[in-house]
């Protein structure tokens, strides 16, 4: 059953969701205030780097089931269901800045004023629990002059898309969470998922909002816990990846999100956890675990720089190669990437930084304009006194001693487990021993491994 859907906001969630629903047989119109972006999208050129997006965008555009506009009224008038996918940035104190979500609710309300028939509004943006009831519904009702529950339906439908895998995650969800104002709203939304192979969970609005935060908090906690265990493993000469392999075999835990290293970055985990911490505080509850999850995450970055400083006998005037800048591979996104803080610390400690990333250098230039950017790993490593690996890009797997031989001093520290120990002789990891080119006895005595 095909439906006419409008999507407000063409960030990675909005665009991938729109293209995804068009691919699943619906008519989709995307709206954004950014004219340049809309032009690009209508030419089937994705404004962001996302696997498979170009292919699918070309396909749905050619079929005539997907288009983009800057005209919100047109988008609303040509659809029966609207998904709000605008950004929800953070305020200074970590709380959520609801400016865009409130404005768009008002604009949708105004557009609904003269539209006939039942229309469902779906909040897909990640919003703290209570937002849809407090900051969306009143604006919709006031501007449209209509009642939610009568002419307007409202749902919360959180997304669980990973950047870089957004389309794959969209098409193969683990579950579909539908928070509904009333049964009628939920029934309409559930219809657009009829051809997805996933269980549907129906809840009230604020429960669905909380599910999104709790899921991200749980995943981030798994990472910080793995890092904490990893920091102890490092001192014991144990490889935390082997430990977590054994831990993840417990079906109650699952093997996913147990990769220790430089910690999590991106536009979701750091921001969402700060937002739920702030919400707890506003409600008079002092979060303990989540504060620690954030602190452990920040600390990983310093541990990496300390480790390097220690191995290079100080960082003053040393050339340090930073391999990988994106917050994760297959992305050009550097938001909250560990590399940002790591490079700041390296600069503060007097190092000269050279950097390389296959996708994210343009974005990192906006944060750190005064470091050297190189066109490949080898150029970045040339004459370096040390190297930090900060993103697990696939191409780093192919690096070998030949590439690292151009360094002045081969001090190589992995913040992400990616190097191939059979091709690189001398490296170590932040939470794992790595491979050090030493005799077995020397290796066991090496204080770098900690005591065991
Ligand atoms: C995350 C969630 O995984 C999605 O389910 C969610 O929809 C999304 O946030 C969101 O809220 O919109 P994303 O931020 O795109 O997705 O990226 P992840 O793949 O989850 O990685 C986040 C960070 O954690 C990366 O820096 C990654 O390197 C790090 N990470 C991930 C680890 O350090 N260890 C792991 O085991 C897994």
Residues in the chain: 452
- Distance of alpha carbon 314 from alpha carbon 247, whole angstroms: 37
What does the pLDDT average to over 28-56? Answer: 94
Cα-trace Rg, the chain: 24
How many Å apart are CA 280 and CA 38, to the nearest integer?
38
> Of the candidates 53, 185, 379, 172, which has an alpha carbon nearest to the alpha carbon of residue 387?
379
**Average pLDDT estimate for 291-306:** 98
| Domain boundaries, given as residue ranges, for the chain | 4-203, 217-440
Least confident of 120-124, 161-165, 334-338: 161-165
- pTM attached to this predicted model: 0.94
Catalogue the active-site residues.
268
Cβ contacts of 242 within 8 Å, gap of 6 or more: none
Q: What is the signed CA dihedral for 7, 98, 203, 10, rounded to 10 degrees?
A: 20
- Nearest-CA residue for ligand 1 atom 2 is 162
CA of 18 to the centre of ligand 1 (A): 21
pLDDT band at 205 (very low <50, low <70, confident <90, very high): very high
User: Which DSSP string do the residues of 59-87 spell out, in sequence order?
Assistant: HHHHHTSEEEES-HHHHHHT-SEEEE---
Confidence band for 452, pLDDT divided at 50, 70 and 90: very low
pLDDT exceeds 80 at position 436: no
Q: What are phi and psi of 247, to 5 degrees?
A: -70, -45
pLDDT digit string (tens) for 119-135? 999 999 999 999 999 99
Q: Which fold has domain 217-440?
A: Rossmann fold (3.40.50)
Identify the bridge partners of residue 320 per DSSP, sorted by sequence position. 353, 386
Q: How confident is the model at residue 451 (pLDDT cuts 50, 70, 90)?
A: very low
* 27 Cα–ligand 1 center, Å: 30
Q: Return all residues near 144 (Cβ < 8 A) that are at least 6 apart.
A: 108, 109, 110, 112, 113, 151, 152
Chain centroid, CA 7 distance in Å: 20
**Residue 312: helix, strand or coil by DSSP?**
coil
Q: Give the architecture (CATH level 2) of 4-203.
A: 3-Layer(aba) Sandwich (3.40)
pLDDT digits (tens, 9 = 90+) for 231-275: 999 999 999 999 999 999 999 999 999 999 999 999 999 999 999
Query: CA 188 to CA 314: how far, in whole Å?
Result: 62
Domains 4-203 and 217-440 share a fold: yes
Distance 191 CA to ligand 1 centre (A): 29
Nearest C-alpha to atom 22 of ligand 1 is from which residue? 264
Tell me the three state secondary structure of residue 172: coil
- Which whole number is the average pLDDT over 142-157? 97
Buried residues in 229-263 as b, exposed as e (16+ CB within 10 A): bbbebbeebbbbbebbeebbeeeeeeeebbbbbbb
Closest residue CA from atom 3 of ligand 1: 162
- The burial of 52, by beta-carbon neighbours within 10 Å (0-12 exposed, 13-18 middle, 19 or more buried), is given as middle
Residues framing ligand 1 (Cβ under 6 A): 126, 159-163, 216, 219, 223, 257-259, 261, 263-266, 268-269, 272, 327-328
pLDDT on residue 450: 46
């Amino acid at each position: 059953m095909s439906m006419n859907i409008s999507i407000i906001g063409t960030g990675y969630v909005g665009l991938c969701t729109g293209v995804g629903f068009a691919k699943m047989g619906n008519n989709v119109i995307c709206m954004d205030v950014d004219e340049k972006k809309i032009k690009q999208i209508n030419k089937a050129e994705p404004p962001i780097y996302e696997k498979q997006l170009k292919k699918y965008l070309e396909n749905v555009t050619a079929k005539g089931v997907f288009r983009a506009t800057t005209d919100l009224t047109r988008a609303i008038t040509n659809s029966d269901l609207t998904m709000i996918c605008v950004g929800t940035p953070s305020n200074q104190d970590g709380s959520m800045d609801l400016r865009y979500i409130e404005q768009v609710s008002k604009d949708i309300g105004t557009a609904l004023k003269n539209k006939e028939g039942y229309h469902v509004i779906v909040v897909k943006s990640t919003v703290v629990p209570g937002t849809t009831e407090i900051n969306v519904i009143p604006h919709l009702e006031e501007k449209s002059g209509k009642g939610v529950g009568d002419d307007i339906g409202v749902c919360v439908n959180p997304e669980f898309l990973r950047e870089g895998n957004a389309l794959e995650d969209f098409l193969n969800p683990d579950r579909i969470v539908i928070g509904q104002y009333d049964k009628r709203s939920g029934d309409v939304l559930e219809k657009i998922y009829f051809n997805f192979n996933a269980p549907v969970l129906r809840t009230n609005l604020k429960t669905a909002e909380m599910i999104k935060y709790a899921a991200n908090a749980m995943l981030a906690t798994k990472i910080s816990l793995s890092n904490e265990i990893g920091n102890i493993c490092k001192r014991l000469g144990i490889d935390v990846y082997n430990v977590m392999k054994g831990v993840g075999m417990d079906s109650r835990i699952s093997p996913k999100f147990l990769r220790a290293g430089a910690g999590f970055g991106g536009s979701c985990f750091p921001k969402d956890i700060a937002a739920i911490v702030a919400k707890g505080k506003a409600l008079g509850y002092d979060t303990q675990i989540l504060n620690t999850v954030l602190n452990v995450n920040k600390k990983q970055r310093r541990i990496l720089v300390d480790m390097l400083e220690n191995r290079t006998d100080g960082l003053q005037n040393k050339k340090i190669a930073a391999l990988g800048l994106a917050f994760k591979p297959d992305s050009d996104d550097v938001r909250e990437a560990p590399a940002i803080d790591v490079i700041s610390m390296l600069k503060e400690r007097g190092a000269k930084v050279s950097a390389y990333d296959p996708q994210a250098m343009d974005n990192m230039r906006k944060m750190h304009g005064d470091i050297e950017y190189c066109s490949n790993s080898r150029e970045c490593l040339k004459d370096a006194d040390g190297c930090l690996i900060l993103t697990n890009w696939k191409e780093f797997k192919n690096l070998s001693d030949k590439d690292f031989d151009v360094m002045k001093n081969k001090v190589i520290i992995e913040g992400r487990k990616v190097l191939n120990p059979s091709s690189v002789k001398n490296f170590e990891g932040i939470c794992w021993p790595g491979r050090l080119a030493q005799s077995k006895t020397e290796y066991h005595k090496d204080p770098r491994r900690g005591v065991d």
